[in-house]
Amino acid sequence: MALSSTLNLIKPLLILFLLHLPSHNSSYLEYSDALSRSILFFEGQRSGYLPNDQRIVWRSNSGLGDGWEVSADLTGGYYDAGDNVKFGFPMAFTATMLAWSVIEFGDSMPAGELRNALVAIRWATDYLLKTVSQLPNRIFVQVGDPIKDHSCWERPEDMDTARTVYTVEAPNTASDVAGETAAALAASSIAFRSSDPAYSETLLRTAVKAFEFADTYRGAYSDNSDIRDGDELLWGAAWLRRASQDDSYLNYIQNNGKTLGADDNINEFGWDNKHAGLNVLVSKEVLEGNMYSLQSYKASADSFMCTLTPDSDSSHIEYTPGGLIYRPGGSNLQHATIISFLLLVYANYLQRSSQSVSCGNINLGPTMLRQMAKRQVDYILGENPKGMSYMVGYSNYYPQRIHHRGSSLPSIKDHPQMIGCKEGSVYFNSSDPNPNVLVGAIVGGPGEDDAYDDNREDFRKSEPTTYINAPFVGVLAYFVANPNPS
């Protein structure tokens, strides 16, 4: 056998071996290792035709007929969590946060991991381009029936549930999904600007069209009454402003802020609420561009930072006894990773403009914000009361029974026979560790008392999601270059 063929055969095994090496506390190697794994995770969430260089080798092709019922190619993209549905809203947010991670912290990434991060972004944006390919009158927002999918426990390679395509036709509304898609494409256009200018231009041009749909037909697609669309419109406009430097988007943010709820000063950020992230993003225009007409956004960003500080008079965030940011509702680590990201981004903006945040009784400088973020990162990676890493495959003690279909069922490589919808229940109910390690996955995490039972059934704690990992990529990249911030 030729040497090159032999190397090709052992390469996947070598990668997995290296990924299982133990890490070391508070060192460059620790954060670098975690960064590599956090990006690798996205390969385990892929839908569609998998490439020859796929590193999560227990996965295979899936969802190859997605879109056929509407005569469209909707293959590709990501399953956002432990199920087999492709939700456009959280997937677009995942792409936005991966792109923002590269924009702010790509210079801190080792060259190979920067390439991997761009590959992870493109797997999402290639799909998102398909979802808006029939604008100006139609957008695809979801593939897969969640009720039918969630009634089954089967591998994505086996799924035989309905791959229903959810479509929004004008003048019906989808400002939330379309606005986030515009943000994702615009942010990604910045991330690809130097490495692939033509692709970058395609992303930006399509982002403009997606935003026009979102703004023309205002209103949320989602049935969830807690989800509004105004923040996504401002968020999309803010990213188009940053990507294009077009003053029309600056004017949009200035003139529509009050109407679209920017003054609500909601201290939340996630796939379904953009307020705190929007305020931090727009604050760059104030701090570094002297756009004082946007001062209200900076004031809201300052207020948000103060709420995170236990010693501040305006603090109102909850922490677990072990020091983890906690918000009720499940999947808590999404808050810890994304707030850590905002802390680091705002710290950079403040440092470059030589400013701090006044919280009444204390001043917050960049160093304090970074130290707050580091506490969250180190907790997630193992410095917590349980001594457990909440990133799968990192260190020697991590969750073994995550709520994830592909991870918990035998790989199609080892068990090529189909495992049907209900046949997978025996694996779901098993107390055995998952047979396939979803390296880099960050689970929902412990409760308000720092307790974590390694239980597959408890999806609020044991299910990983792409939008938990995406901001953590940027956070880890910062600490690779700055393991002890000052």
**Catalytic positions, please?**
403, 454, 463
Tokens found for residue 53: 């260089």
Which residues neighbour 303 within 8 Å (Cβ) at sequence distance 6 or greater? Answer: 265, 267, 314
Calpha distance 171→20 (Å, rounded): 51
- In 66-183, DSSP assigns E strands to 86-87, 138-143, 165-169
Tokens found for residue 188: 């990604």
Write out 153-214 in H/E/C secondary structure: CCCCCCCCCCCCEEEEECCCCCHHHHHHHHHHHHHHHHHCCCCCHHHHHHHHHHHHHHHHHH
Contact 438, 464 (CB under 8 A): yes
Residue 82 DSSP one-character state? S
Contact 38, 113 (CB under 8 A): no
Nearest to 167 by CA among 63, 48, 274, 74: 74
Q: Which residue is it, tokens 């456009």? A: 88
Contact 461, 452 (CB under 8 A): yes
Calpha distance 166→94 (Å, rounded): 19
Calpha distance 163→187 (Å, rounded): 29
Which residues does residue 319 pair with via DSSP β-bridges, in sequence order?
325
Tokens found for residue 315: 């603090």
Q: Count of residues for the chain?
A: 486
Calpha distance 469→440 (Å, rounded): 8
Calpha distance 328→447 (Å, rounded): 8
User: Is the previous residue joined to 156 through a cis bond, with omega within 30 degrees of 0?
Assistant: no
Contact 140, 178 (CB under 8 A): no
Tokens found for residue 10: 């052992």
Contact 345, 304 (CB under 8 A): no
Q: Are strands 363-364 and 357-358 parallel, antiparallel or unpaired?
A: antiparallel
Q: Which residue is it, tokens 């990924």? A: 19
Residue 439 DSSP SS3: coil
What backbone torsions phi and psi does residue 356 show, to the nearest 5 degrees? -140, 175
